[in-house]
Structures are given as structure tokens and as C-alpha cells.
Amino acid sequence: MRTVHNVAVLGGGSFGTAIANIMANNGHQVTLWLRNDERAEEINQQHCNSAYLPEYSLNEALTASTDLAKSVLGADIVFMAVPSQSCRDVAKTLSNLIADSTILVSTTKGIEPGQFKLMSQVLAEEVPQARLGVLSGPNLAKEIAANQITGTVIASEDESLNHCIQDLLQSGTFRVYASSDVYGVELGGALKNIYAIIAGMAAAKGIGQNTISMLMTRSLAEMSRFAVHKGADPMTFLGLAGVGDLIATCMSPLSRNYRVGYQLGEGKSLEAIIAELGQVAEGVNTLKLIKQQAEQSGIYMPLVSALYAVIYEGKTVKEVVGAMMWSEQNRDVEFATR
């Protein structure tokens, strides 16, 4: 018999809404916290979130609130699904509202600038009493809302936490796998946003399948090279949180980062694209941070350097591609099992 949990999901965007709905469908008591009063009323009265998941009905038992304290009152599990730039501020407030040993799961795929902190590290600093986990994978929210089959990864060194989140989210269309490599799973989710921009640019240029294949596999090599240098397990990148998430994000116009890249490939300026989207895609911010880290650590990341040159240095795609094709030729596969 499944245990009924009191769950709070912080962040009423597309993914936060989608996973909140899964848990409500599974019979759990779920509150979705967001900042917009009209949207909260819409969820409570009309059972939809037209701003982020239009045309998808939500479980009538799912409630929404703009009161953070009320949302987390009595919650034994909290999901953090706010944008990365809001994570620390929300976490500071949250710290005084939740009990010791509350499970706190980050779903945010971003990096905090300054000291290069992943969201789990931010949460560990601000909410030290919580049991921490990270959720990441090929999880396009609209497909989840449409009950299309997918999987995700819950990562924590706390095995009982992993089992709890697996039971909480598992459904006929949403499968949850476990990992102990928190850093690798989380870093994979952040890094793939950069390569989704590149994939979108390539698609706009009408490139062939050979080129797409090369771009995606070299993206995976670059991601894993960086992550392993930072202490991640290279095998993580062969799973859903690595290659799985990379494929979904690099091949789907549902991805905001892919759409940014596509419009860049069409010749639009980054400023015009951001104005149209209403917010900066995570990959744009992550790009600067990874470029800086790669240079400081001497990590070879030609695709990151190429995208940076296009967005911030005014280089054309043709110029950058030409330089890359004549750059140093390295080994295809860098990590091997023995």
C-alpha cells in the first residue's frame, strides 16, 4: 500500500506544474506554490495552468497558493522548481519554514554565478537541516502533461530518499531511476542546455543527419569531460540524466534553449529573442560560466568556445565552424571501463 505524502512544489512553471500533477494523480496531498494570484486562482478553480501548460487539465485535488509558509506547512517532501536565479532567495525563506529531515529535491537545471554553485549546493548551504536530492532527465513538461512515456533520475547519497521519490512519482507513463552521483546528474542537466542552443542553430541552418550525429556525440564528450574534471562519474552520462536529457533537449522545439538557438540561426539577435521569450534561457547564462571554468581549468571545450564566439564576440557560424574543423583532433572516446 502506497504511503500518502504531504508535498509542496515550489515554482508554478511548466515542469513544477507537471510533476505536481503526477503526484496528485498518485493520490498524494500536493500544494503548488507560485507568485501569481491570478494563476493560483485559475489552478484552484479551473484546474489548468494556461500560462505554461495550456490545454492540459490538472487533477482537481491539486491546490495552488501564493503563500509560501502555508504551502509548506506540514510538508514532508518539498520540490524546488524555481529558476536558478531565484533559488537562493527562496531557499533562505524556506529554511525557517520546514522541519528537520524534510526531503528537499531540486529540479532546477542551472548554475549560480560567482562561486560556481549547483542548486543542490545552494540548498545545502541555505537549508542544512533538509535531506537533499536532485531530479533530472529527459523531461519536457508538455510531453509529461500529455502522459507520454518518459523516465527521470533521482540522485542522492541517501538511498531511502531515492526509494521514497521513486514511489512518489512512479506512474504508468513516468518511470524513476536512482543514482548516487548527485553532482554528475545535476551537472548533466545544466550543461545540456548549452548544446541545445547549438542544436537549434544547426537545425535552422538545415544541416544533415551526419552533422547532427557528430554534434550530439561531441557534445556528450564535452559534457562528460568537464563533469569528470569536477568529480562526476563518467558513467552517469550514459544514462537518462546525460545522453537521455541531451537527446531530448537537442531535438525538440519544446526546449526553450533549442528555440533560442534556432532563432539565432535565423539571424535574430539575442536581445530580440530574450524579449520575445520573456526570460533568458538557462543555457545562455550557463554558457558564460562554463566558458570561464573551462579556461581556468584548462578543459578542452571547442563547442562551448564556438557558441560563445557567436553570441558574445560577433563571429559568424561559418567562421566558427571553419576554425573548429581544423582544430586539434582528439580521441573519440576518452573514458573506458577495465
The residues that are catalytic are 192
Do residues 166 and 2 lie in contact, with contact meaning Cβ atoms separated by under 8 Å?
no
Q: CA-CA distance, 335 to 338, in Å (whole number)?
A: 10
**Rounded Cα distance, 209 and 221, in Å:** 18
| DSSP E strand boundaries for 164-257 | 174-179
Q: Kindly report the CA angle at 267 between 263 and 272, in degrees rounded to 5?
A: 65
Strand arrangement, sheet containing 131-136: 63-65, 29-33, 6-10, 77-80, 103-106, 131-136, 150-155, 174-179
Tell me if 144 sits within 8 A of 152, measured CB to CB.
no
Distance CA 75, CA 261 (A): 39
Q: How far is CA 74 from CA 66, 98, 335, in A?
A: 16, 8, 46
- What is the C-alpha separation between 126 and 88, in angstroms, rounded? 7
Counting every residue, how long is the chain?
338
Pick the closest to residue 180 from 152, 161, 208 (CA basis).
161
